[in-house]
Amino acid sequence: MGFAARYIFLAPPELNELEQRLKRRGSDDETKIKERLEIAKKEIENAKLPDFHDKVFVNDDLDTTFASLEAYIFGNELSTDSAPQEREESPLSEIDDTAVAALEAETQEQIFKPIPALEV
């Protein structure tokens, strides 16, 4: 019996909320938080692309998100249908594109620094 793989994305409700969550945890310094936000911004942009993920879950409430994720994963657990599943619209369009653009502008120079050993 085969099981179809599902590619999912757990998204924060918005970047500011993610930043606050990371700060509340207290496990990372400001530099590491900034790095994690840069990565999250890229992941969120990728999640907005059509057909990039099978489903996107916005983690605005842990219990609700977990229940939705569990239902999605195990709801079709016994399905052997190999036909492609219809992908749902991404809820990430609600994430503030202005905040993403500001973070991108602030970090773009750091992300794309040339690697001296690779320069021709």
Q: How far apart are CA 90 and CA 107, in angstroms?
A: 25
pLDDT score of 90 = 54
- Whether residue 69 lies inside any domain: the answer is yes
Number of domains in the chain: 1
- Whether residue 86 lies inside any domain: the answer is no
pTM: 0.57
- Whether residue 36 lies inside any domain: the answer is yes
pLDDT score of 4 = 74
pLDDT score of 77 = 44
- Whether residue 87 lies inside any domain: the answer is no
Range of the domain at 17: 8-80+92-118
One pLDDT digit (tens) per residue for the chain, 120 residues: 566 788 899 999 999 999 999 999 999 999 999 999 999 999 999 999 988 999 999 999 999 999 999 999 888 544 434 344 444 555 555 555 555 555 555 545 444 455 555 444
pLDDT score of 98 = 58
- Whether residue 3 lies inside any domain: the answer is no
- Whether residue 45 lies inside any domain: the answer is yes
Domain with residue 18: its CATH number is: 3.40.50.300
Bridge partner residues of 9 (DSSP): 56
- Whether residue 1 lies inside any domain: the answer is no
Angle (CA) 22 95 14, round 5°: 15
Nearest to 37 by CA among 56, 14, 61, 18: 18
In this structure, the number of other CB atoms found within 10 A of the CB of residue 16 comes to: 13
Q: How far apart are CA 70 and CA 74, in angstroms?
A: 6
- Whether residue 46 lies inside any domain: the answer is yes
Bridge partner residues of 56 (DSSP): 9
